[in-house]
Amino acid sequence: MKAYRVSGTAPFGSQRQAFSFDIPAENEDGATHHAYSILGSRHRIGRRMVKIESISEIDPRTSTEAKVLHHFREQIAAQGGTIAPTAEEE
């Protein structure tokens, strides 16, 4: 499994908005399918309405998505922890 960042635009209400998901998947096709699945189930957006602009493999340590951090937790711990910027609480 690898971590992918899927970015694109989709119609949310009356306008198109950008989205970005970090997804653990076997390959780019699996990441694409999972992004379509997320948008369809959460927002009832059809696959034809979604425009995926980029799919890139990322280092799992740079992600803030819980699903990616959980899937690669042993690998991240072995490499010394995350390198994603963390927001400080106020």
The rounded Cα 5 to chain-centroid distance in angstroms is 5
3-state secondary structure of 43: helix
For the chain, the distance separating the N- and C-terminal CA atoms, rounded to the nearest angstrom, is 36
Q: CA–CA separation, 77 vs 26, rounded Å?
A: 21
| Residue among 7, 8, 2 at smallest CA distance from 25 | 2
> Tokens representing 82?
């995350």
| Residue among 32, 23, 33 at smallest CA distance from 65 | 23
Cβ atoms of residues 24 and 3 within 8 Å: yes
pLDDT tens for the chain, residues 1 to 90:
999 999 999 999 899 999 999 999 999 999 999 999 999 999 999 999 999 999 999 999 899 899 999 999 998 889 888 885 656 556
pLDDT (0 to 100) of residue 85 = 63
- DSSP bridge partners of 18: 9
Q: Tell me the domains of the chain and their CATH numbers.
A: 2-78 (3.10.20.10)
The share of the chain scoring above pLDDT 90, in percent, equals 73
